[in-house]
A and B are shown apart, each in its own frame.
Chain A
Amino acid sequence: MSVFFYTPVEVLANPSMFENKTIRIGALVQRGSVEWDAQDIRLSFNITEDGKKNIPVFYDGVKPDLFREGQGVVVEGKMKGQRFEAVQLLVKHSEDYTVETEHKKTKEDYYKSIQAQ
């Protein structure tokens, strides 16, 4: 499975194996852990599978539109000690497709909602 991505539990179970190697980790963004610095374009958050064990991720880049707490992400980069320095941040989306009830959002509303974030 390692050709696809590792999970935080797999990486934390064997830290010496992953130290300073370019790997991918797939997990969920832990709620309440996201820090986004729009001035310096720096993003940090914890990733976790079970909500207990987590890895802090640091990413120097733009926060993707679909990046949210609890969202599935795949980060590519290197473990530097306890922290993961990501060079790429990909966002997974679920197979659920829904619309807001009793509200038909138009394209303009959508772009306004993005800018407001």
Chain B
Amino acid sequence: MDRMKKIVLFLEWGSILGLLGCGLWVFLWTPLEISQGFPQKIMYLHVPTVIIAYLAFFVVFVYSIAYLWKRELMFDQMAKASAEVGLVFCALVLITGAIWGKPIWGTYWAWWDVRLVTTLLLFLIFMGYFLLRMSINDRDKEARLAAVLGIIGCLDIPIIHKSIEWAKGRTLHQPSTFFKVETGEINPSISDVLSDPLPVAIFFMLTLYLYLLLLRYQIEKHQDELYQLLAETQD
């Protein structure tokens, strides 16, 4: 077995067992939150998926710039793989958010909540990113245009992050639990027993992301190698 396969297998089983462990921790050993009760548990799925979606699109941002700079096909393959995984996580963010919103806010969705709408925008931009890729036959042109859209699309992330502040709290979303806007301090207003599983869940969501990213990248690499080979034999 080569090294890459070992890493992928390790990440696969690490994430499965880790996330299962987090599930047990959250449902069996974490007490209920006082005002929300049971629905609060979806936080341990919602928050990690948000962070990984941000990370995945940030990776797209970095590899897109790297591609435009070096014109290395591998950079484009990584950007594409990360965008695909990011899109899945972004969809999960919207779905888990809606499931959480219904019992707590009283609605799945509100068009006037800036964070909801800007997150949907991020999802749509990266849907468009794949439509763009599919519509171009020239491999280099595809990589070039996708890199530009990928970079622009990622600029939505700081907007999502700052949206609640910019809307001056006129949103359904509450201000940040972990970072206080007024003081700029890290002073979490969450009990330790409730926040303890979060970094662990984020870590295993990260390994899941890396697992999917590596798998997807390998497929992408082999596909491009195959097309190259086909093009050469036809000449």
- The answer on a CB contact under 8 Å between B172 and A95 is no
Please, which residues of chain B bring their CB within 8 A of the CB of A100?
31, 34
Residues of B within 8 A of A (CB): 31-38, 40, 43, 103-107, 110, 112-114, 167-168, 170-172, 174-177, 189-191, 193-195
Given the complex of chains A and B, what is the CA–CA distance between A1 and B167 in angstroms?
A: 7
Does residue A80 face the partner (Cβ distance < 8 Å to B)? Answer: no
**7 nearest A-B pairs in the assembled complex, by CB-CB distance:** A4-B170, A97-B190, A95-B174, A104-B31, A95-B177, A105-B32, A96-B189
Please, which residues of chain A bring their CB within 8 A of the CB of B191?
97-99
- The answer on a CB contact under 8 Å between B174 and A93 is yes
Please, which residues of chain B bring their CB within 8 A of the CB of A39?
none
Please, which residues of chain A bring their CB within 8 A of the CB of B168?
1
Given contacts A97-B189, A98-B33, A99-B194, contact A107 B38 (CB under 8 A): yes
Query: What is the distance, in angstroms, from A35's C-beta to the closest C-beta of chain B?
Result: 19
Does residue A90 face the partner (Cβ distance < 8 Å to B)? Answer: yes
Given contacts A90-B105, A91-B106, A93-B104, contact A99 B171 (CB under 8 A): no
- The answer on a CB contact under 8 Å between A4 and B112 is yes
Does residue A32 face the partner (Cβ distance < 8 Å to B)? Answer: no
Known A24-B112, A95-B174, A97-B36; 8 more pairs at CB < 8 Å:
A1-B170, A96-B177, A97-B43, A98-B34, A99-B32, A99-B193, A100-B31, A114-B37
A-B contact pairs, 18 of them (CB 8 A): A3-B112, A4-B113, A74-B172, A90-B107, A90-B172, A91-B104, A92-B174, A93-B35, A95-B177, A95-B189, A96-B177, A97-B191, A98-B191, A99-B31, A99-B34, A104-B32, A110-B37, A114-B37
| Residues in A78-117 with C-beta less than 8 Å from chain B | 88-100, 103-107, 109-110, 114
- The answer on a CB contact under 8 Å between B177 and A93 is no
Q: Secondary structure of the A side of the interface?
A: loop
Given the complex of chains A and B, what is the CA–CA distance between A109 and B177 in angstroms?
A: 26
Nearest chain B residue, comparing its CB with the CB of A24: B112
A26 in complex: contacting residue of B36, B104, B170, CB < 8 Å: B170
Given the complex of chains A and B, what is the CA–CA distance between A104 and B33 in angstroms?
A: 10
Given contacts A4-B170, A4-B171, contact A107 B107 (CB under 8 A): no
Please, which residues of chain B bring their CB within 8 A of the CB of A103?
31
Query: What is the distance, in angstroms, from B178's C-beta to the closest C-beta of chain A?
Result: 9
Given the complex of chains A and B, what is the CA–CA distance between A44 and B193 in angstroms?
A: 37
Does residue A66 face the partner (Cβ distance < 8 Å to B)? Answer: yes
Please, which residues of chain A bring their CB within 8 A of the CB of B34?
98-100
- The answer on a CB contact under 8 Å between A110 and B107 is no
B174 in complex: contacting residue of A88, A94, A99, A107, CB < 8 Å: A94
Given the complex of chains A and B, what is the CA–CA distance between A103 and B33 in angstroms?
A: 11
- The answer on a CB contact under 8 Å between B104 and A106 is no
Please, which residues of chain B bring their CB within 8 A of the CB of A106?
32
Please, which residues of chain B bring their CB within 8 A of the CB of A105?
31-32, 37
- The answer on a CB contact under 8 Å between A66 and B176 is no
Please, which residues of chain B bring their CB within 8 A of the CB of A64?
106
- The answer on a CB contact under 8 Å between A93 and B112 is no
Please, which residues of chain A bring their CB within 8 A of the CB of B194?
97-99
Given contacts A4-B170, A91-B105, A110-B32, contact A97 B40 (CB under 8 A): yes
